[in-house]
Structure 1
Amino acid sequence: MTDFDFASRVDRVEPSATLAISNLANELEADGIDVVDLSVGEPDFDTPENIKRAAEDSLAAGDTGYTSSNGIPELREAIAEKLRADGIDCAADNVVVTPGGKQALYEIFHTLIDGADGRSPSASGTSSRTGDEVVLLDPAWVSYEAQAKMAGADLSRVDLSPYDFQLEPALDDLAETVSDDTELLVVNSPSNPTGAVYSDAALEGVRDLAVDHDVTVISDEMYDEITYGVEQTSLGSLDGMGEHTITVNGFSKAYAMTGWRLGYFCAPESFVSQAGKIQSHSVSCAVNFVQHAGIEALRNTDEAVGEMREAFRERRDMLADLFADHGVDVPVGDGAFYMMLPVSDDDQAWCEGAIEDAHVATVPGSAFGTPGYARLSYAASTERLREGVERLADGGYI
């Protein structure tokens, strides 16, 4: 067998902890064991029927070829309309449609980040060059770290766990981390994995730092349609942030379209022209008929999204009450469909035990940069959520 000389960017990245847990759950289920899977960040709803019909109509109309690399004009305009309604100064020419949110992030990181050159450390133990600095807010979605490492960035992290995962009380910590050497800051509100929705004051603090230090901010708003009793503010809508913000969003979560692979970002035209090179030489374009379905999703699904949102809210409240009944106080976020359950310091061992003994699948908090927690997704039926909590209690895990 060939002894491959693997690129350093591959060595810098660990396999997805979420997929590792999911694979273990699949193995147990293949052996006939019933697993309550609370690990996957995927809505348990089907894609709304009108969206599916739009894709079928598009297929019937022959929309099966390549599109322009940045996306069909009608979808880019619909996205721009949505973002303008959110207060962002966005035109169709500011939008790039991508095959999923991860591809949007990939293009952003690789457009902005100059990485370490990948050569082996010198005899003195120091590498010849370090990469641009990327700042993450922990706990942070696992793919941010992976994307940054693949691009060769140096990572700095700000821990929000002492503040119940809220950003506003951690602004002083963030100010000590962000500097003129920072190239990119990633903000995710509503948050995966905590469900936190950051306050306007917190976002204004980010704005002040970004402007003062000339830092670009990725505002990942993938869960912006899934909030409970609060309004999520788009960072790019704040005064002074138009040239400092790249807004990332997509269709996976709000419209239950994870498998459709459709995302986008909005950025200044100068950035779009450069990132577009990566898109054109990698994935070429998002799928044609899926883009047509995206137009329908943006314009005609408010009722369906509202029904899913209400179901998630009811599950969140029920789950928090169930844990409280067992004496466990869990920080409750105002968005997305996740909770961070406090567990033992060795959260990896806790999660492995929970799935092997109690047959409940969760994701260790250390995968998100915050040990001592397990992420639970409440994108599951109320019956399965109740069953999961009871199994954890019966097994002595809570």
Structure 2
Amino acid sequence: MKVSKRVLEMEESVTLAAGARAKQLKAEGRDILSLTLGEPDFTTPENIQEAAIAAIRDGRASFYTVTSGLPELKTAISGYFEKFYGYSVAPNQVTVATGAKFSLYTFFMSVINPLDEVIIPTPYWVSYADQIKMAEGVPVFVQAREANDFKVTVAQLEAARTAKTKVLVLNSPSNPTGMIYSREELLAIGNWAVEHDILILADDIYGRLVYNGNTFTPISSLSEAIRKQTVVINGVSKTYAMTGWRIGYAVGEPEIIAAMTKVAGQTTSNPTAVAQYGAIEALIGEQDTVEQMRQAFEERLNTIYPLLAEVPGFEVVKPQGAFYLFPNVKKAMDMKGFTDVTAFTTAILEEVGVALVTGAGFGAPENVRLSYATDLDTLKEAVKRLKTFMEG
């Protein structure tokens, strides 16, 4: 039996592959510290759990919902946008999906025609490029340099623009770098996109996870013209420690939102009903727990960053948000005799039991990604082992 060319050409998710390898070695009895997955180590807040249990017990979670999501959840999302984005949205501007990743997929399937080009600043989250290829589009990579805090400029975007450019992907705070675009930078990018009729795909999933006085500005909040050009992707996974619940959503102009709902209707149908009831409580319920988790991530960042910077050959820009560090390890690889970053991360895993993610899958062949969405003791021990590896 032969599989499709589409699947043969598809890259495996490096983050999921690294996480799976770490779990396999743990199952074999190895002492493995995994810093691979972007997954909070906190359990879902109790008020959210209880709301979901109540929905099960009173029968509300037993049935299909409309494909685009419960009306009550759309109302909660609109309220969330009023509070954190500064504008409200109508029900026909919202569609809920089985995770933010699937929201991204339905977006690309809805707007990309064969050979349409999508600009992706690098380093980039691993699934953007392959989802674009699945939609028969062409990813066009623009390198965001470390010297500019991993952010692209309008001049770089203009140099990459062609008559086929359809979409710009913008992820701020960024996975994997954790860097945040300023209001001024976003305004310049947004106005450029409006001028050239380029859609903005704003991946805002880490917007609530910012640290040390930094501020997240949603590009869609800057002007009505930019808002009409933008589709926002967000969800409850990162902010509310709900990765397993698989609830994401998109907000944008009704025509695109309707198209995304149409794709979902022929693939997943509605998101899981009980998870939607949990998401309603997440968005409208108490937010103290969210702040407690954010403060914990901030403490981990401020503790682990200077320790990682002391590891020989590891050069790291301090992130402003999300929960990743993305050190440049070119010097470290040279010191240890490696020319390939994936081989370098494999050696670290096998020799000292620390699972990192190769930067190759993010379009950054001189970097590695580590997640600090785990406890401080594990993080400290992991960095200690990295130092041992480099000094051995």
Q: TM-score, normalised by structure 1?
A: 0.92
Q: SS of the counterpart of 1:283? A: coil
Whole-angstrom CA distance in 2 between matches of 1:29 and 1:162: 34
Alignment partners' CA distance in 2, 1:326 and 1:71: 47
Indicate how the Cα distance of structure 1 residues 40 and 386 shifts in structure 2: closer, same or farther if over 3 A, else same.
same
Shift of 1:89: 4.6
Match of 1:198 in 2: 181
Please state how far the C-alpha of 1:278 moved relative to its aligned partner: 0.7
- Which amino acid in 2 is paired with 1:106? Y
The aligned residue for residue 280 of structure 2 is 295
Distance verdict in 2 for CA 1:397–1:146, change over 3 Å: farther
Shift of 1:20: 1.7
Work out the CA distance in 1 between the residues paired with 2:5 and 2:99: 25
In structure 2, C-alpha distance between the alignment counterparts of 1:176 and 1:88, rounded to whole Å: 33
User: How far apart, in 1, do the equivalents of 2:270 and 2:370 lie?
Assistant: 33
Q: Distance in 1 between matches of 2:82 and 2:128?
A: 26
RMSD, aligned CA:
1.5
**Amino-acid identity (%):** 37
Task: Give the deviation of 1:283 after TM superposition.
Answer: 0.7
Structure 1 outlier segments of 4+, above 6 Å: none
Counterpart Cα distance in 2 of 1:272 and 1:8: 29
Comparing 199-208 with 104-113, greater Cα deviation is found at 199-208
Partner residue of 1:342 out of 328, 336, 339 = 328
Give the equivalent residue in structure 1 for 2:82.
84
Offset at residue 362 of structure 1 (A)? 0.5
Alignment of 1:55-204 (within 5 A): 55-63=52-60, 64-85=62-83, 86-115=85-114, 131-167=115-151, 170-204=153-187
Instruction: Return the match for 1:271 from 256, 259, 264.
Output: 256
For residues 155 and 146 of structure 2, what CA distance do their matches in structure 1 show? 13
Q: 2:365 and 2:354 mapped to 1: Cα distance?
A: 19
Structure 1 range deviating more: 58-67 or 271-280: 271-280
Q: 1:270 Cα deviation (Å)?
A: 1.3
Aligned partners of 1:263, 1:301: CA distance in 2, in Å?
A: 20
Structure 1 range deviating more: 157-166 or 17-26: 157-166
Among 6, 20, 29, the alignment partner of 2:17 is 20
* Count of residues in correspondence between the two structures: 379
Match of 1:366 in 2: 360
TM-superposition CA deviations, 1:28-55 (whole Å, max 9, x none): 1122111110011100000000000000
CA distance in structure 2 between the aligned counterparts of 1:299 and 1:87, rounded to whole angstroms: 16
1:242 partnered with 2:227: yes
CA displacement at 1:166 relative to structure 2: 3.5
CA distance in 1, matches of 2:250, 2:354: 35
TM-score (norm 2): 0.93
Match of 2:319 in 1: 333
Distance 1:397 1:361, change over 3 A: farther
**CA distance, structure 1, for counterparts of residue 340 and residue 309 of structure 2:** 22
Q: Return the alpha-carbon distance in structure 2 between the equivalents of residues 225 and 351 of structure 1.
A: 30
Q: Distance in 1 between matches of 2:171 and 2:391?
A: 29
Give the distance between the partners of 2:391 and 2:16, measured in 1 at CA.
22
Q: Which consecutive residues of structure 2, in runs of 5 or more, have no partner in the other structure?
A: 334-338
Q: 1:221 aligns with which of 184, 204, 213?
A: 204
The answer on whether the counterparts of 2:150 and 2:177 sit within 8 Å (CA) in structure 1 is no
Q: Which of 352, 357, 382 is the aligned partner of 2:376?
A: 382
Give the distance between the partners of 1:27 and 1:279, measured in 2 at CA: 33
Q: CA deviation at 1:397?
A: 7.0
- Cα deviation 1:173-219 (Å, max 9, x = unaligned): 12211244211111001111111111112211211221111000110
Aligned to 1:233: 217
Q: Name the structure 1 match of 2:336.
A: none
What SS does the aligned partner of 2:166 have? strand
Amino acid at match of 2:253: P
Query: Does the aligned pair in 2 maintain the 1:12–1:150 contact within 8 Å?
Result: no
**What SS class does the counterpart of residue 270 from structure 2 fall into?**
coil
Q: Is the aligned partner of 1:32 residue 2:21?
A: no
Q: Is there any run of 5+ residues in structure 1 with no aligned partner, and where?
A: 116-130
